[in-house]
Structure 1
Protein backbone atom coordinates (compact mmCIF):
# COMPACT_ATOMS: atom_id res chain seq x y z
CA UNK A 1 0.00 0.00 0.00
CA UNK A 2 1.46 3.33 -1.08
CA UNK A 3 1.25 6.21 1.40
CA UNK A 4 -0.05 9.41 -0.18
CA UNK A 5 1.70 12.70 0.46
CA UNK A 6 -0.11 15.80 1.57
CA UNK A 7 0.20 19.12 -0.20
CA UNK A 8 2.40 20.53 2.63
CA UNK A 9 4.88 17.67 2.16
CA UNK A 10 5.18 18.41 -1.55
CA UNK A 11 5.72 22.09 -0.75
CA UNK A 12 8.67 21.18 1.49
CA UNK A 13 10.17 18.88 -1.14
CA UNK A 14 9.76 21.40 -3.94
CA UNK A 15 10.98 24.41 -1.95
CA UNK A 16 13.89 25.85 -3.92
CA UNK A 17 14.61 28.86 -1.70
CA UNK A 18 18.04 27.57 -0.66
CA UNK A 19 18.99 26.63 -4.21
CA UNK A 20 17.88 30.00 -5.58
CA UNK A 21 19.68 31.82 -2.78
CA UNK A 22 22.91 29.96 -3.45
CA UNK A 23 22.59 30.72 -7.17
CA UNK A 24 21.89 34.43 -6.63
CA UNK A 25 24.51 34.76 -3.86
CA UNK A 26 27.29 32.27 -4.62
CA UNK A 27 29.85 31.40 -1.98
CA UNK A 28 33.19 33.04 -2.80
CA UNK A 29 36.40 31.05 -2.55
CA UNK A 30 38.01 32.70 0.49
CA UNK A 31 39.69 31.49 3.69
CA UNK A 32 36.77 30.77 6.05
CA UNK A 33 37.71 30.25 9.73
CA UNK A 34 35.08 27.49 9.95
CA UNK A 35 36.50 25.41 7.08
CA UNK A 36 36.89 21.81 8.19
CA UNK A 37 34.82 22.21 11.39
CA UNK A 38 31.77 20.01 11.96
CA UNK A 39 28.79 21.96 10.53
CA UNK A 40 26.54 20.75 13.37
CA UNK A 41 28.49 23.05 15.68
CA UNK A 42 26.85 26.03 13.98
CA UNK A 43 23.32 24.92 14.92
CA UNK A 44 23.56 25.39 18.70
CA UNK A 45 21.06 23.91 21.15
CA UNK A 46 22.06 26.06 24.13
CA UNK A 47 23.91 29.24 25.06
CA UNK A 48 27.18 27.41 25.69
CA UNK A 49 27.18 25.91 22.19
CA UNK A 50 26.24 29.31 20.76
CA UNK A 51 29.25 30.91 22.49
CA UNK A 52 31.55 28.19 21.10
CA UNK A 53 30.26 28.73 17.55
CA UNK A 54 30.52 32.52 17.69
CA UNK A 55 34.05 32.23 19.12
CA UNK A 56 35.15 30.55 15.89
CA UNK A 57 33.68 33.44 13.90
CA UNK A 58 35.41 36.06 16.08
CA UNK A 59 38.77 35.45 14.45
CA UNK A 60 37.50 35.19 10.89
CA UNK A 61 38.58 37.87 8.42
CA UNK A 62 35.45 37.40 6.25
CA UNK A 63 32.76 37.23 8.94
CA UNK A 64 30.89 40.29 7.63
CA UNK A 65 30.80 38.77 4.15
CA UNK A 66 29.59 35.47 5.63
CA UNK A 67 26.78 37.17 7.54
CA UNK A 68 25.74 39.24 4.51
CA UNK A 69 25.51 36.19 2.25
CA UNK A 70 23.64 34.19 4.90
CA UNK A 71 21.08 36.94 5.44
CA UNK A 72 20.55 37.28 1.68
CA UNK A 73 20.04 33.52 1.40
CA UNK A 74 17.75 33.41 4.48
CA UNK A 75 20.03 30.85 6.16
CA UNK A 76 19.59 29.41 9.66
CA UNK A 77 22.36 28.80 12.21
CA UNK A 78 25.45 30.77 13.20
CA UNK A 79 26.82 32.80 10.30
CA UNK A 80 29.43 35.52 10.66
CA UNK A 81 29.18 35.38 14.46
CA UNK A 82 25.40 35.89 14.53
CA UNK A 83 22.65 33.35 15.17
CA UNK A 84 20.14 33.54 12.30
CA UNK A 85 16.70 32.02 11.80
CA UNK A 86 15.79 32.16 8.11
CA UNK A 87 18.11 35.15 7.67
CA UNK A 88 16.81 37.10 10.69
CA UNK A 89 19.26 37.75 13.57
CA UNK A 90 18.22 36.15 16.86
CA UNK A 91 19.04 37.33 20.37
CA UNK A 92 19.78 33.81 21.61
CA UNK A 93 18.93 30.14 21.35
CA UNK A 94 15.22 29.40 21.67
CA UNK A 95 14.32 27.39 24.73
CA UNK A 96 12.47 24.12 24.32
CA UNK A 97 9.07 23.63 25.82
CA UNK A 98 6.13 25.85 26.56
CA UNK A 99 6.71 29.63 26.65
CA UNK A 100 6.44 31.32 30.04
CA UNK A 101 3.03 32.64 31.03
CA UNK A 102 2.27 36.28 30.45
CA UNK A 103 -0.11 38.36 32.56
CA UNK A 104 -3.20 39.45 30.66
CA UNK A 105 -4.49 42.94 31.39
Structure 2
Protein backbone atom coordinates (compact mmCIF):
# COMPACT_ATOMS: atom_id res chain seq x y z
CA UNK A 1 0.00 0.00 0.00
CA UNK A 2 1.38 3.38 -0.94
CA UNK A 3 0.86 6.59 0.96
CA UNK A 4 -1.44 9.06 -0.71
CA UNK A 5 0.01 12.50 -1.18
CA UNK A 6 -2.15 15.24 0.38
CA UNK A 7 -2.31 18.51 -1.43
CA UNK A 8 -1.50 21.70 0.42
CA UNK A 9 -5.16 22.87 0.43
CA UNK A 10 -6.92 19.56 0.97
CA UNK A 11 -6.38 19.18 4.72
CA UNK A 12 -7.63 22.67 5.53
CA UNK A 13 -11.25 21.74 4.66
CA UNK A 14 -11.35 18.47 6.55
CA UNK A 15 -13.04 19.70 9.73
CA UNK A 16 -16.51 19.21 11.15
CA UNK A 17 -17.19 22.95 11.24
CA UNK A 18 -16.50 23.44 7.56
CA UNK A 19 -18.54 20.39 6.62
CA UNK A 20 -21.52 21.57 8.66
CA UNK A 21 -21.27 25.09 7.24
CA UNK A 22 -21.70 23.64 3.76
CA UNK A 23 -24.56 21.31 4.70
CA UNK A 24 -26.52 23.77 6.88
CA UNK A 25 -25.52 27.30 5.85
CA UNK A 26 -27.04 30.42 7.38
CA UNK A 27 -29.32 32.02 4.80
CA UNK A 28 -28.15 35.49 3.78
CA UNK A 29 -31.59 36.84 3.01
CA UNK A 30 -31.95 40.57 3.79
CA UNK A 31 -35.66 40.10 4.50
CA UNK A 32 -34.93 37.79 7.47
CA UNK A 33 -34.86 39.68 10.76
CA UNK A 34 -33.03 37.84 13.55
CA UNK A 35 -33.99 39.15 17.02
CA UNK A 36 -30.52 38.30 18.38
CA UNK A 37 -28.51 39.83 15.52
CA UNK A 38 -27.72 43.13 17.23
CA UNK A 39 -27.77 41.93 20.84
CA UNK A 40 -24.83 43.46 22.75
CA UNK A 41 -24.12 40.29 24.79
CA UNK A 42 -23.82 37.13 22.66
CA UNK A 43 -22.81 35.15 25.77
CA UNK A 44 -26.42 35.47 26.91
CA UNK A 45 -27.28 32.69 24.45
CA UNK A 46 -24.90 30.32 26.27
CA UNK A 47 -26.58 30.50 29.69
CA UNK A 48 -24.92 29.42 32.90
CA UNK A 49 -27.92 29.94 35.18
CA UNK A 50 -31.72 30.05 35.04
CA UNK A 51 -31.86 33.87 34.91
CA UNK A 52 -29.71 34.12 31.78
CA UNK A 53 -31.67 31.24 30.19
CA UNK A 54 -34.94 33.10 30.83
CA UNK A 55 -33.49 36.29 29.32
CA UNK A 56 -32.35 34.44 26.17
CA UNK A 57 -35.72 32.72 25.82
CA UNK A 58 -37.49 36.09 26.15
CA UNK A 59 -35.48 37.48 23.22
CA UNK A 60 -36.26 34.38 21.14
CA UNK A 61 -39.97 34.49 21.97
CA UNK A 62 -40.73 37.33 19.55
CA UNK A 63 -38.22 36.32 16.85
CA UNK A 64 -39.80 35.80 13.41
CA UNK A 65 -37.19 33.22 12.30
CA UNK A 66 -37.39 31.04 15.39
CA UNK A 67 -38.13 27.78 13.53
CA UNK A 68 -35.30 28.35 11.05
CA UNK A 69 -32.88 29.14 13.88
CA UNK A 70 -33.83 25.96 15.76
CA UNK A 71 -33.46 23.86 12.61
CA UNK A 72 -29.98 25.32 11.99
CA UNK A 73 -28.92 24.69 15.59
CA UNK A 74 -30.03 21.07 15.46
CA UNK A 75 -28.49 20.45 12.03
CA UNK A 76 -25.14 21.85 13.18
CA UNK A 77 -25.09 20.05 16.56
CA UNK A 78 -24.85 23.46 18.26
CA UNK A 79 -24.72 24.39 21.94
CA UNK A 80 -26.69 27.19 23.60
CA UNK A 81 -30.08 28.75 22.90
CA UNK A 82 -31.23 28.35 19.31
CA UNK A 83 -34.79 29.20 18.30
CA UNK A 84 -35.93 29.47 21.90
CA UNK A 85 -34.63 26.01 22.84
CA UNK A 86 -31.53 25.20 24.89
CA UNK A 87 -29.41 22.76 22.87
CA UNK A 88 -26.44 20.58 23.74
CA UNK A 89 -24.86 18.87 20.73
CA UNK A 90 -28.01 19.75 18.79
CA UNK A 91 -30.34 18.02 21.25
CA UNK A 92 -32.92 19.91 23.35
CA UNK A 93 -32.16 20.16 27.07
CA UNK A 94 -34.61 20.56 29.95
CA UNK A 95 -32.53 23.22 31.70
CA UNK A 96 -29.10 24.64 32.34
CA UNK A 97 -26.67 21.88 33.36
CA UNK A 98 -25.59 22.09 36.97
CA UNK A 99 -22.03 21.68 38.16
CA UNK A 100 -21.03 18.54 39.97
CA UNK A 101 -22.55 15.11 40.19
CA UNK A 102 -26.25 14.82 39.38
CA UNK A 103 -28.52 14.03 42.32
CA UNK A 104 -29.14 10.37 43.11
CA UNK A 105 -32.49 9.02 42.08
CA UNK A 106 -34.16 7.38 45.05
CA UNK A 107 -35.45 3.83 44.75
CA UNK A 108 -38.80 2.69 46.09
CA UNK A 109 -38.41 0.57 49.20
TM-score band by shorter chain is 0.7 to 0.9
Query: 2:33 aligns to what?
Result: 31
Query: 1:46 aligns to what?
Result: 49
Query: 1:5 aligns to what?
Result: none
TM-score normalised to structure 2 length: 0.76
1:95 aligned onto 2:94:
no
Where is the helix percentage greater, Structure 1 or Structure 2? 1
Query: 2:73 aligns to what?
Result: 70
Query: 1:21 aligns to what?
Result: 20
By relative contact order (CA 8 Å, sep 6+), the higher-ranking structure is: 1
Structure 2 distance, partners of 1:66, 1:49, is: 19
Which stretches in structure 2 are left out of the alignment for 5+ residues?
A: 1-13
Which stretches in structure 1 are left out of the alignment for 5+ residues?
A: 1-14
Runs of 4+ in 1 over 4 A off after TM superposition: none
1:81 aligned onto 2:80:
no
Local SS of the residue matching 1:83: strand
CA RMSD of aligned residues (A): 1.9
User: How many angstroms does 1:101 deviate by?
Assistant: 2.2
Query: Which one has the largest radius of gyration?
Result: 2
How many residue pairs align between the two structures?
A: 92
